[in-house]
Structure 1
């Protein structure tokens, strides 16, 4: 027995040592030497981008929102239940005094005189610590001077039955940026405000935020990009190109595990460019432990923007346990970020144009369903912005970085495609649409085009250019090229792809994933592979199309002939890239290179396209349809059937009675 115990202890000790050795290997070595060479990785990536597979014409997949295989993952989450105790202190809600925190009169009326200690939360010169300012005591109000964030502790003056309240609050500090600025009397440039959620595909946004989606599309007339495709794995590879125009590999070294690496301040962030054009900027992101620029990277040394929410979340971590789930006191945590964004907008309203990026991850980073609890809150936030006139001079962008990345979702073909197609939308004010009608016309044409984060970054730059061109902004010199750990020529190598096209300019309809600088395994485009028109499956597909047309016209059979197939001109299947199906995970530590060994992607349907001739009338139809592999059945939506030759007077009998049948009816 003693020997067995010693053997067990030795086995445990051996396992521990092996784990420790592995940990050291991962941290300090972790990958082949060539993988630590950025130029080597760029060459591998660009070889894939230029591969023959990636040169095919792009057919964007038509992914049903209510696909059964995706709906199987969905459920409703219980609503957030925050404290029902009213906050004793409010900050930043006075439109004229966004830096003032005051004790609520309703609390004083109910509890008598209140005393509060205010301690501002200060950011040192790094992204990983906070400092606390000196305590200031007040019985009325407090002005934020060094920070936008403050810890507050209050108590009643009555000693026998003393009550207490504590909170951590946000406002907009009092400084020259907002307090001393006069109101601008001339026409203001357009604000750019971007608010996003982590891990929401275009379809997932519609599924989990239906009220928000309806309001933004029907009332705010949001333009949703239908072909927005990611260019890498995870949040950094989605947001770095969006905010800088470069990939992480092309920028100065900032990874924590690389000795002598620098800070992310070396990146040419888009909010710096807007600041050069006299905008005031804000960058807000929750989840500080897994932040975009602080999880693998060194974060910022100097504060990146005039207003920066990271110190709030760092300070909140130490007291999170005393708050209810997903709450800060009586307020949901996602609402705190939205409120802070609105306070920022209010503080500079009519004084200075604003650029802000607020990115919320807590609700959606680790859950497919939890973000649904924010639906009504986001809708009401948008209603408030609209009703109070904030959107009159604001380009509002609602977006996500990528789709859901959970393994069970990724193992379905639709889930794999949705991961690559995040939600991205623009809400332009009417003043912009009128002033820049040509540019907005191009933008509308591009809604169905293949576009990427590189293109959105170029759009940000173009928004400055068009305002410079007509005098809304003063012209500035071009931005400097960032100093990098690779050569300037290496950076320019990517430019030969013409990978960045402003959405205010025409994006070619024939654009390929190679043109857009998307690797094959991240490309969501489908390739059309032609089939034998005489094969049994193609004949079944053609019959399914004609059957659907005949069912559609059946109620008018006394007027419209039954149609039959006379010829199948061509047929093909729309298939995803083979490398997309094989993508399993990353094979390097930083998410640049792909492991293409997956064999688990579930394919439940094939997509077909056909062109057929029918009689009588020799009508020519093109249609897209789905072959459900589980039940071996072709499914046709009548809206996916197009008539491509003129029907002339063939439909004369139905023209007035039922014009929707014109392209399908051959009159008797």
Structure 2
């Protein structure tokens, strides 16, 4: 069955096609209703069964479909997975706190279980690279290994433990130690103000959270978290969607102002700096160091950006025995990388329970590379969130549990469900009961906004709102990318559109689309137009023409069309969503608008062109993160094609 974007109602097909196209013969086969009005191309090759009367958002300028998480088109890609253990024994070492002192302790009762031979252990201090190092954000060093028997008092923030017999290494682990230091000692007590904790899971849509983590979702729904049902991403991948939250800028503005490819991000206006300047204890952690949001194909940070930055911890953890799961560093030593993040969160909120704090904790390893692997972590997250709800953190902290986007690659992306959920990441907010009582109107606005179109830029404004409530001298700054965006504690307009929210039409979920025959002439013309724009984009980079193959169209995988609307010039416009495959092999998704001038269709590319297949190392010959998404490093193919063209055209 060829995947496509056909939407079928429970009882009938719905399809709106502009009459002008029919006049030009673009639709050969179609269905008419009893009044002779053309409804849709006649097709019957599968499709997504969807009740079009249900919406996540239902406002005058935005209607986002509410579809079944196990919709028929996505069902073939779903398979529940079990939790994967990283060890068979309990940890041999652990950290113990006694007043202001920290001890590394050995679980002596487990020695015989680890080996029948005598075991000796030692620990090394782990330190971040020197500021003078040109690659400081990717550099760590280890001190000499100091032997210990049962326990050792430690002062370092990170230690690596190694235990051996005379024959082999039986255990190694890295411990990160969160404790008061000279900088945090005089940070502000929480008092009646509120902390912020952002807990992020990469590549997790609303629908996939429900599908793969039902226990976690049920806990969120039953314990008073607010689900922002219309939360729409603003760009393709993690970096721009996270930076929209942290800086209020879009990707173009970030590259212009911060230039992360050439400069460290220290001088970039990231909001955790504002919290840190106002005496919040700040933290940032992210697993899978080579995919790090701020270091992948970028320079990262010269100085640690927050009071506690755990990049060095994960660099050290990845020197242990790493077990990959779907090409991700799932196990780093005896612990899963994701659970290491959760343990850091627990330590952070516990140690600084009485102080104002801001933390961003981001997980890649169990959700980034496979749409089903998060299902194995459902019990883990249900237990973790239950812990947060029972702890003091829930009394004085605004919690944000969220993602950046849905699954971006693979055949699921050729389906209607895949199109929708890729653009709709999950996000749930917990607001303490004391906040609700103190600011009832703000909380009511948040609940109202749960059914409106929202974006990462709104979350940026919300973080500033919280900061201003704790420090009245703070001046809220409008989002540079979305001046109309506002705090989620302020009511969003009922007539908000994607344009108002700074979401490009290509990523906008407000209009939906219905099936149109990929073989129709209008789709073919629009696809060649998009392909030409893709070639131009590649050629606009210095390395593009030299390093990347020139794509040819192989075939159109699927296509959808919106209903007709009228722009400000009172011109009729439709949007075509097209997924097409090229040679060399790559799969792209583009949105092309169609308007008419003297009955001639005019095409305009809307927003970015998305890459929806896994391209792996095929673009490794270039370093620019944007060009990497589009390039196919195939100089041989380009040379052969030129030779063939010369032979056959002369």
Which category of TM-score, normalised to the shorter sequence, fits these structures? Answer: 0.5 to 0.7
| Structure-1-length-normalised TM-score | 0.64
Aligned to 1:516: 501
Tell me the secondary structure at the aligned position of residue 284 of structure 1: strand
Cα distance, 1:606 vs. partner? 9.9
Tell me which residue corresponds to 2:487.
Answer: 502
Deviation, 1:205, is: 0.7
**Contact kept in structure 2, 1:144 and 1:173, CA below 8 Å:** no
Pairs within 5 Å for 1:51-90: 57-90=61-94
Which residue number corresponds to residue 127 of structure 1? Answer: 137
Which secondary structure state, in structure 1, belongs to the residue aligned with residue 312 of structure 2? helix
What is the CA–CA distance in structure 2 between the aligned matches of 1:395 and 1:445, rounded to whole Å?
Answer: 17
Number of the residue aligned with 2:434: 431
Q: Distance in 1 between matches of 2:206 and 2:240?
A: 18
Per-residue CA deviation, residues 269-311 of structure 1 (Å, 9 max, x unaligned), is: 1111111221111111112212211112211111111111211
Deviations 1:394-425 (A, max 9, x none): 21111010011123122112211111111011
> 2 CA distance for matches of 1:237 and 1:72?
31
Correspondence 1:600 to 2:605? no
Please state if 1:341 is matched with 2:350.
no
Please list every run of 5 or more consecutive structure 1 residues that lacks an aligned counterpart in the other structure.
1-54, 470-474, 482-490, 530-577, 609-668
Partner of 2:590: none
Matched, 1:272 2:273: yes
- Give the 3 Å change call, closer, same or farther, for CA 591–387 of structure 1 in structure 2: farther
**1:376 counterpart (374, 379, 382):** 379
1:283 correspondence with 2:294? no
Identify the range of structure 1 (339-348 vs 109-118) with the bigger mean alpha-carbon deviation: 109-118
| Correspondence for 1:331 | 335
Aligned residues: 473
Change in Cα spacing, 1:322 to 1:527, as seen in structure 2 (3 Å) is closer
Change (3 A) 1:591 1:405: farther
CA distance 1:438–1:112, shift in 2 (3 Å): farther
Return closer, same or farther for 1:155/1:524 CA change in 2, 3 Å cut-off: same
Q: Which runs of 5+ in 2 are unaligned?
A: 1-58, 515-524, 542-550, 565-650
Range 107-116 or range 382-391, more displaced: 107-116
Q: Distance in 2 between matches of 1:590 and 1:392?
A: 54
Question: Shift of the alpha carbon at 1:602?
Answer: 5.8
Bigger Cα displacement from structure 2, 326-335 vs 399-408:
326-335
Distance in 2 of aligned mates of 1:209 and 1:275: 34
> Which residue of 415, 420, 445 maps to 2:418?
415
Matched, 1:139 2:154: no
Tell me by how many angstroms 1:607 deviates: 10
The 3-state SS of whatever aligns with 2:221 is: helix
Match of 1:238 among 228, 232, 241: 241
Structure 1 99/230 Cα, relative in aligned 2: closer, same or farther at 3 Å? farther
Q: Could you say which residue in structure 1 is the equivalent of 2:173?
A: 167
Structure whose CA Rg is larger: 1
The answer on whether the counterparts of 1:103 and 1:114 sit within 8 Å (CA) in structure 2 is no
* Native 8 Å contact 1:121 1:132 kept in 2: yes
Structure 2 equivalent of residue 311 of structure 1: 312
1:329 shift after superposition: 3.9
In 2, distance between residues paired with 1:71 and 1:139? 54
Is 1:444–2:447 an aligned residue pair?
Answer: yes
1:248 to partner: Cα distance = 2.7
User: How big is the shift at 1:443?
Assistant: 0.6
CA contact (8 A) 1:118 1:142 kept: no
Return the alpha-carbon distance in structure 2 between the equivalents of residues 334 and 103 of structure 1. 24
Taking a change above 3 Å as real, the CA distance of residues 323 and 405 of structure 1, as seen in their structure-2 partners, is closer
Once the 2 structures are TM-superposed, how far is the Cα of residue 528 of structure 1 from its aligned partner? 10
Partners of 2:233 and 2:188 lie apart in 1 by 40
Corresponding position: 1:359 with 2:357: no
Instruction: Sort the Cα spacing of 1:452 and 1:217 in 2 relative to 1 into closer, same or farther, 3 A.
Output: same
2: CA distance, partners of 1:517 / 1:84 = 49
- Distance of 1:200 and 1:436 partners within structure 2: 31
What RMSD, in angstroms, separates the aligned Cα atoms of the two structures?
3.8
SS of the residue corresponding to residue 88 of structure 2 reads coil
After superposition, the Cα gap between the structure-2 partners of 1:441 and 1:146, relative to the gap in structure 1 and judged at 3 Å, is same
Map residues 597-636 of structure 1 onto 2, 5 A cutoff.
599-601=556-558
Counterpart of 1:396 in structure 2 is 399
**Shift of the alpha carbon at 1:56?**
8.3
Aligned counterparts of 2:362 and 2:346: Cα–Cα separation in 1: 14
- Name which of 249, 253, 260 aligns with 1:250: 253
- Alignment check: 8 A CA contact 2:266 2:301 kept: yes
Contact 2:200 2:361 in 1 (8 A): yes
**Structure 2 counterparts to residues 14-33 of structure 1, below 5 A:** none
> What is residue 189 of structure 1 aligned with on the other side?
193
SS in 2 for 1:367: coil
Alpha-carbon distance between aligned partners in 1 of 2:418 and 2:445, rounded to the nearest angstrom = 31
Deviations 1:419-476 (A, max 9, x none): 111101101111111111111111111001111111100000001112335xxxxx34
Deviation at 1:599, TM superposition (A): 3.9
* Deviation readout 1:524-573 (Å, 9 max, x if unpaired): 101799xxxxxxxxxxxxxxxxxxxxxxxxxxxxxxxxxxxxxxxxxxxx
Paired residue for 1:660?
A: none
CA shift in 2, pair 1:177/1:590, >3 Å: farther
Larger helix percent: 1
